[in-house]
Each structure stands twice: as C-alpha cells, then as structure tokens.
C-alpha cells in the first residue's frame, strides 16, 4: 500500500472517530459536563503517558520537556494551547449533551475558514479569490442565524475559534503527537484534579458512585481522546494538506447526520439557510485549494 493511501486511511480513521464521538458522550449524559471534562483530561494523561512508556519513549518525552523549558516562548504557547483545547473539549461535551450537536457540527465546518483568516492576520498569508468568497459566504450564513434567526451560534463560534487558536499556537512547536498530548494534558492535569476535588466537595459526582458502565465510559474517555489524535498525526505526515482538508469535513458531516436523524435535533429553515451557506463556502474553499495545487504541479 502506498504512503498516500496509508495516510488517507489514518486520517479517515481519526475523523470517523471524531464524527462518532457524540454517540459516546451521549452514554454519559447523566454526568455533568465539568466532571466529564476533568475526567477526560486525567485519563487522557494516564493513557498517553502509559503509551509513551510502552513504546519506550520516556527519554524522548523528558527531552521534549527540557527542550520546551529552554524555549520559554514555546513552553508558554503550549501551556496556553492546552487551556484553549480544554475549553474546546468542554464546550463540545456540553453541546452534545444539551441538544446542540448541530451547532457543534457547524463550528467544525467553519473552523478551516477561521484558520485561513488567522493565517492572513497573524502569518500574513495571502488569500486566494476563492477563499475570500468562501469566507464572505460563511459570514453571511452565521450573520443570518444571529440576526434573522435571533440566536448567536456561540457554540459554533467558540469551537471554531478555540480550535483555530489551538492550531496557531501549535504551528511552530515541533512535537511528536503522542508525546505532545502527554505534555499538554500534564499542563492541565493539576487544574483537572483540583476541579475534580471541588466537584467532590460541592456536588454528587458520578465516578465510582453510579455503576460500572459509567465508570468504564469515563475511564475510556482518555482512550477516545488519544487514539484519533495519534491516527491524525500519522495521516498528516503521509498526505498533502489539500487532501487532509477534504477528509476533515467527514467529522462534522457525520455529527450533523447523527444530530438530525439519531437525536432528532430541530433543523428549521434558519438552520438550512445557514448550513447551505457554509456548505457552499466549504465547496468553494476546497475547490480553490484543489485548483491551486494542480496549478503548482503544472508549473
């Protein structure tokens, strides 16, 4: 099998897992979003650290930490990135378990368009005509829902902005995906533990207090966090970015279908117009990227 086919399979596997993950979170709908988030951080660190030890990369992990400490800008960038991705995780869990899966799906459709805007503003990257048109159409869709629909899609915007900021912060930090995740979760591990202790003192926590199924699902949240990230990293190394861009829309599409047909979330004319704008923007954006790549190959 060619490197490119392997890369597509790895990337598709990651996005398939991310697309199906709402089904997992729904199984712990009786648990508070804050407890799920704290547990996700703790168990992600546990399983990622164990995996690093299993593949005998403890020395490499320690070398990464020392290297980061020697580059304070990168160290604090990764620390902030770990906080931002925690916000992303928390909002997504809350959205799934509070009947806002369609908004979450919309957020991940918008995400690549927000990322190119960040590229323009922060990295002074040039935008193609197709990308500019795509961003304008997406903005019209979001504005329509905010003004005529009467609701600001704050879940969508928070998810799109947080994941884009996370990408910007990590852009110049060369870290192996598995070891990088171990370090990121290590950064927020103390916060997660303190949060869990606070929840234990103020509310009735679910872990070890409901049933074995709930316990196993909360522990398993660490695995379903780490595994797709490892698959994604392997895929990203083997295929060009434009192919990765096409594959990434698999996840929000699956979440959209699950939200409408499995959990029967309302899909009114307002949502239809907003999503139609986003789909058109995504189509123009993807087609523009594909044409750019073809032109480069012909030069």
Q: What is the structure's pLDDT at 150?
A: 72
- The residue length of the chain stands at 299
169 is written with which tokens? 């912060």
Please provide the DSSP assignment of 232-253 as one string: HHHHHHHS-HHHHHHHTTHHHH
Q: What is the structure's pLDDT at 200?
A: 93
Query: How high is the mean pLDDT of the chain?
Result: 88
CA angle 43, 165, 237 (to 5 degrees): 70
Which bin fits 126, alpha (ψ -120 to 50), beta or left (φ > 0)?
beta
Over residues 99-147, the pLDDT tens digits come to 999 999 999 988 888 887 887 788 777 778 888 898 899 889 888 887 7
Name the pLDDT band for 242 (thresholds 50, 70, 90): low
**What is the reported pTM?**
0.89
Phi, psi of 266 (to 5 degrees): -65, 135
Helix ranges, 71-176 (H):
72-97, 101-122, 129-147, 154-170
Indicate the domain borders of the chain: 3-170+177-298
Over residues 249-282, the pLDDT tens digits come to 889 999 999 999 999 998 988 889 999 999 998 8
Instruction: Give the residue-averaged pLDDT of 76-95.
Output: 94
Q: What is the structure's pLDDT at 175?
A: 83
**CA-based max dimension of the chain:** 65
Q: What is the structure's pLDDT at 1?
A: 67
Q: What is the structure's pLDDT at 185?
A: 92
Contacts of 79 (CB under 8 A, 6+ apart): 187
Residue 293: Cβ-neighbour burial (10 angstroms; 0-12, 13-18, 19+): middle
Name the pLDDT band for 151 (thresholds 50, 70, 90): confident
Q: What is the structure's pLDDT at 298?
A: 57
């Amino acid at each position: 099998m060619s490197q490119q086919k392997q890369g597509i399979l790895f990337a598709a596997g990651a996005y398939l897992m991310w697309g199906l993950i709402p089904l997992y979170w729904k199984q712990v709908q009786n648990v508070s979003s804050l407890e799920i988030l704290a547990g996700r951080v703790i168990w992600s660190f546990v399983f990622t650290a164990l995996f690093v030890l299993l593949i005998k990369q403890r020395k490499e992990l320690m070398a990464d930490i020392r290297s980061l400490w020697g580059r304070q800008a990168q160290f604090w960038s990764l620390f902030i990135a770990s906080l931002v991705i925690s916000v992303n995780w928390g909002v997504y869990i809350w959205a799934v378990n509070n009947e806002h899966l369609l908004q979450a799906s919309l957020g991940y459709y918008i995400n690549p368009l927000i990322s190119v805007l960040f590229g323009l503003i922060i990295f002074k990257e040039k935008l193609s005509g197709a990308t500019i048109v795509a961003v304008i159409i997406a903005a019209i869709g979001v504005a329509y829902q905010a003004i005529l629909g009467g609701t600001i899609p704050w879940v969508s915007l928070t998810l799109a902005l947080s994941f884009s900021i996370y990408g910007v912060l990590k852009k110049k930090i060369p870290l192996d995906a598995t070891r990088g995740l171990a370090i990121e979760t290590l950064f927020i591990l103390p916060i997660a533990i303190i949060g869990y202790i606070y929840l234990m003192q103020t509310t009735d926590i679910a872990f070890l207090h409901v049933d074995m199924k709930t316990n196993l699902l909360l522990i398993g949240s660490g695995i379903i966090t780490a595994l797709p990230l490892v698959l994604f990293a392997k895929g990203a190394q083997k295929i060009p970015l434009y192919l990765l861009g096409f594959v990434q829309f698999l996840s929000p599409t699956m979440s959209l279908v699950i939200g409408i047909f499995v959990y029967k979330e309302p899909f009114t004319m307002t949502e239809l117009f907003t999503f139609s704008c986003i789909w058109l923007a995504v189509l123009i954006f993807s087609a523009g990227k594909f044409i750019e790549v073809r032109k480069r190959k012909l030069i």
